[in-house]
Amino acid sequence: MKILISILIISLLCNTVSGQGNRRPMTFNRSSGYANFNELTGGYGLGGTSQTHSQYYYGFMTTHGYQINIYGLNVNRNIFGGLGTGALFFEQGFLVPLYADVRLIWNTGLVSPFVNGDGGFLFSFEDIDKKTMMSINGGGGIQFNISRNFSLVLGTGLRVQMTETGRRSFVNLKLGLGFMSS
């Protein structure tokens, strides 16, 4: 009888231990790495547009950073963080953005939705003290995955720019290409 109970206990322990390997833990995929987004952007002024740099803008922005691919627990998403710059042309001048960007991308196959936010400064070389602005932009969009490394990005959002003389707000549109090294 002791032998039978010992065999049952050992087989129960073996089955319990072998079942532990089936659960896939949340891990960082080894394909995490450098990523960048190069986007054409434009915005239309909302609210009061009588101040300088408040009616419209267009330009390009480039963001370089690191993308972490997270898998496990039935989650398949990427978190991107990076720094960016570019050139924005307003109705009354030219500003150079310097910003930090964060994106959360849900990988759903060919089309992946995302939300993003960025914040930083818009520098004016005409008068760096009086015309430089703080800027925040929140939005979302869709990423069309062309291949493993390239994607087409289409997004929209709300940009708010602030100076000591007031705020300016824009609804904006972005179209660009994303690259992820593997």
**Is residue 15 in a domain?**
no
Tally of domains in the chain: 1
- Contacts of residues 170-173 at CB distance under 8 Å and 24 or more positions apart, as own/partner, are 170/43, 170/44, 170/45, 170/46, 170/56, 170/57, 171/43, 171/44, 171/46, 172/41, 172/42, 172/43, 172/44, 172/137, 172/139, 173/41, 173/42, 173/43
Are 180 and 147 in contact, with CB atoms under 8 Å apart?
Answer: no
Does residue 18 register a pLDDT over 70? no
**Is residue 39 in a domain?**
yes
Confidence at residue 17, expressed as pLDDT on a 0 to 100 scale: 47
Q: Tell me the C-alpha to C-alpha distance, in Å, between residue 30 and each of 27, 98, 150, 168, 173.
A: 9, 30, 17, 42, 32
Dump pLDDT digits (tens) for 80-118: 999 999 999 998 889 999 999 999 988 778 999 999 999
**Is residue 2 in a domain?**
no
User: Domain range holding 37?
Assistant: 25-180
Q: How far apart are CA 69 and CA 75, in angstroms?
A: 10
- CATH code, 154: 2.40.160.20
Does residue 140 register a pLDDT over 80? yes
Buried b (16+ CB within 10 A) or exposed e, 79-92: ebebebebebebee
**Is residue 4 in a domain?**
no
What average pLDDT does the segment 34-54 reach? 88
- List, in sequence order, every residue forming a beta bridge with 143; answer none if it has no partner: 112, 153
**Is residue 5 in a domain?**
no
Are 121 and 138 in contact, with CB atoms under 8 Å apart?
Answer: no
Does residue 29 register a pLDDT over 50? yes
Confidence at residue 78, expressed as pLDDT on a 0 to 100 scale: 84
**Is residue 44 in a domain?**
yes
| Upper half-sphere CA count for residue 15 (Cβ side, 13 Å) | 6
The whole-model pTM stands at 0.78
* Tokens (6 digits) for 30: 């080894």
pLDDT tier at 31 (50, 70, 90 boundaries)?
A: low
Confidence at residue 111, expressed as pLDDT on a 0 to 100 scale: 93
- 73: Cβ–Cβ under 8 A, 6 or more apart, which residues? 24, 26
**Is residue 47 in a domain?**
yes
**Is residue 61 in a domain?**
yes
Are 159 and 170 in contact, with CB atoms under 8 Å apart?
Answer: yes
DSSP-derived 3-state class of residue 13: helix
Maximum alpha-carbon separation in the chain: 93
DSSP-derived 3-state class of residue 24: coil
The length of the chain in residues reads 182
